[in-house]
Amino acid sequence: MEQLLDILLHPEYLSSLYFCLIGIFASAIISFLPALHIYNVIGIFMLFVLKFEATMAPMELIALSIGMIVGYSVLNTVPATFFGPGDESMSYYILPSADWVNKGRGYEGVIMTGIGSLTGVIVLALLAPVFIYTLPTLKAITSPHMFWIIGAVIIYSIMSEWPKGLSQSPDCWTNFKEGWYYLGIGFLLFLASGLLGFIVMAKTMVPVQFAFQSITPVFVGLFAMPWLITNVINIGKVPHQHEAESVELDWDLVARGTFGGFLGGFFAAFVPIVTAGVGGLMAGHATAQRDGRLFVMSYGTCKTVYYVGSFLLFFIPGLSLTRGGLACIINPVVNVLTIKEYFIFVGLMLFAAGVSFLLLMPFTKLCLKIVESIPFQWVSIIAMIIVIPAVYLCTGWGGMFIMTVATGLGLIPVLFQARRMNLMGVLLLPVCLNMAGYGNVILKFLGLL
């Protein structure tokens, strides 16, 4: 620890702390852009930053990225809770947290999630030395099997959805049809999302110069727009939020929440395409979570471990797993990775988590002021006014068309009470089948090749 502090506080590396801080504050601003996926925003931000690449040392750029990803993973809970989620990982969390907002406990929920994020980063740091020895072996074992692991995730996601409906008809078949109506919609939604994924990946309508943003309109359409539209037409009002002085957590809950969240987050970070939402659902089932507080807290751990962990994997010497958008963006800049850089990463990650957590309370209070002073519908309308032109600027009319189609699909869960997670078929299905080597067959069948 002393050695790590020596390195971090050495004048040579002090600039890393400085850039890390800039990253955290930049992430606070990025977090405020409602309903946008982190990697898209960071992608645009990095395009701007990379202009300074010649004057920035690689470690400074890495420090900036660490600040951004850690800051975002901690702080994005706040606007997502009060304004709307930006991706599937957030939408998984956001609906249960909406209960807390309805009870006037949104502030407490955010702080609990923040505690979860902090414990997630601490566990990541504690396990960082272990990762060096274990993860290369895990990678070697699982690499040839990744396609069926994703396949298993798909099968479980579909099969774990239970029928809805009242089943109050005296006729069995009517009840059966009613229950399966929702299941059928969920399944069709998964397939339709998968089809959209195949089309977008094989023949995107996004112009070539914006190719790096080709998935943006899909995610905005599937997850952000439906949420904003729902908010606009929602006649409800956000109740007054109580700024609690303490949170209802004990060490047992913290330990259980961190454990469950870490499992889900790590699984999502390690397995490609799997998001924190999917990982969190599976870990929640695996550890039989029941308590609402446990869910909110463990979700903080899950999403932080997912976002930060997937970036951390890239820095593990001898592993260099490129998971998540940020690792892809940073990949060309980083040449050699040593143990020293890895532990500097870990130190900066802890530093960023601490600063972000301290920012969380004032940040939440600021958001609360906005929510309580501006009608909720207007916040969503403003968000749409930001998001739609942003999509047009980044992806052109082609992107706008994709976003419109994706919005249609994204509204189906809202209208028909299907799981939002089915929308992840957009990535899970094409990636799984491509990894298994069946992608071209399907593309040919669809006439896309």
Partner 1 sequence: MKGFTHFISGMAVASFFPQAVHMAAQESSFILCLGGLFGILPDTLDFKLAKYFYKSDFEVKPDPNKLDAREIANGVAQAVNKAIETGKGTVQLHTMQIASNRWRSYLLRFDTKTSEICVDIGPEVDTGQIPFDGTELTDPEKAHARVKVNCEFYQQFDKVSNIAIMTGPCFEFAKREDGKMEIVFLPWHRQWSHSFTLGMLIAFLVGLVTYFTIPEGPHPELYTIPRWMLYPLIILFGSMVHIIEDSTGFMGNNLFYPFTKGRTNGLGFMSASEGIPNFFFVWTSVICILYNLDRFTPTGNPAIASQATFWFWFYIVPVAIMVYFFLKGKKEKALKAKETGDKEKTVDFDGPQAVESETDASII
> What H or E segment, with its residue span, contains residue 423?
none
**Of the residues 29, 138, 366, 446, which one makes contact with partner 1 according to CB under 8 A:** 138
- Each as own residue / partner, the long-range contacts of residues 21-25 (CB below 8 Å, 24 or more positions apart, any chain) are 21/67, 21/355, 22/64, 22/67, 23/63, 23/64, 23/65, 23/66, 23/67, 23/68, 23/69, 23/70, 23/71, 23/352, 24/67, 24/68, 24/70, 24/71, 24/352, 24/355, 24/356, 24/359, 25/67, 25/71
With binding defined as CB under 8 A, does residue 393 bind partner 1? no
Q: Enumerate residues 58-87 that contact partner 1 by CB under 8 A.
A: none
With binding defined as CB under 8 A, does residue 378 bind partner 1? no
HEC per residue, 147-214:
HHHHHHHHHHHHHCCCCCCCCCCCCHHHHHHHHHHHHHHHHHHHHHHHHHHHHHHHCCCCCHHHHHHC
**DSSP 8-state code for residue 151:** H
x/- mask, partner 1, residues 164-203, rule CB under 8 A, reads xxxxx-x-xx-xx--xx--x--------------------
Q: Shortest approach of partner 1 to residue 280 CB, angstroms? A: 8
Q: Widest CA span of the chain, in angstroms?
A: 77
Tokens of 308: 């930060």
**Of the residues 25, 58, 104, 151, which one makes contact with partner 1 according to CB under 8 A:** 151
**Of the residues 7, 122, 132, 156, which one makes contact with partner 1 according to CB under 8 A:** 156
Q: Shortest approach of partner 1 to residue 126 CB, angstroms? A: 15
**Of the residues 73, 76, 89, 289, which one makes contact with partner 1 according to CB under 8 A:** 289
Q: Shortest approach of partner 1 to residue 435 CB, angstroms? A: 8
With binding defined as CB under 8 A, does residue 292 bind partner 1? yes
User: Measured between alpha carbons, how far is 349 from 21 in angstroms, rounded to an integer?
Assistant: 11
Closer residue to partner 1 (CB): 23 or 265:
265
Q: Specify whether the CB–CB gap between 376 and 245 falls below 8 A.
A: no
Q: How many residues does the chain have?
A: 449
**Of the residues 10, 51, 145, 444, which one makes contact with partner 1 according to CB under 8 A:** 145
**Of the residues 42, 112, 391, 418, which one makes contact with partner 1 according to CB under 8 A:** 418
User: Measured between alpha carbons, how far is 141 from 426 in angstroms, rounded to an integer?
Assistant: 27
**Which range touches partner 1 (CB under 8 A), out of 242-250, 279-287, 316-324, 355-363?**
279-287
In terms of DSSP H, where are the helices of 374-447? 376-416, 425-436, 439-445
Q: Shortest approach of partner 1 to residue 187 CB, angstroms? A: 12
**Which range touches partner 1 (CB under 8 A), out of 3-11, 113-121, 159-167, 340-348?**
159-167
**DSSP 8-state code for residue 290:** -
Q: Shortest approach of partner 1 to residue 144 CB, angstroms? A: 4
User: Residue 296: CA atoms inside 13 Å, Cβ hemisphere, count?
Assistant: 28
Return the CA Rg of the chain: 21
With binding defined as CB under 8 A, does residue 161 bind partner 1? yes
Q: Enumerate residues 194-253 that contact partner 1 by CB under 8 A.
A: none
Q: Specify whether the CB–CB gap between 119 and 254 falls below 8 A.
A: yes
Q: Shortest approach of partner 1 to residue 285 CB, angstroms? A: 4
Q: Shortest approach of partner 1 to residue 263 CB, angstroms? A: 9
* Buried residues in 51-70 as b, exposed as e (16+ CB within 10 A): eeeeebeebbbbbbbbbbbb
**Of the residues 18, 147, 187, 401, which one makes contact with partner 1 according to CB under 8 A:** 147
Closer residue to partner 1 (CB): 14 or 441:
441
Q: Shortest approach of partner 1 to residue 262 CB, angstroms? A: 13
Q: Specify whether the CB–CB gap between 438 and 194 falls below 8 A.
A: no
Q: How many residues of this chain interact with partner 1, rule: CB under 8 A? A: 64
**Of the residues 19, 83, 93, 198, which one makes contact with partner 1 according to CB under 8 A:** 93
Tokens of 417: 């009470």
Q: Shortest approach of partner 1 to residue 162 CB, angstroms? A: 3
Q: Specify whether the CB–CB gap between 106 and 370 falls below 8 A.
A: no
* Binding stretches for partner 1 (CB under 8 A): 91-96, 98-99, 102-103, 137-138, 140-142, 144-145, 147-148, 151-152, 155-156, 159-168, 170, 172-173, 175-176, 179-180, 183, 256, 280-282, 284-292, 295, 413, 417-421, 436-438
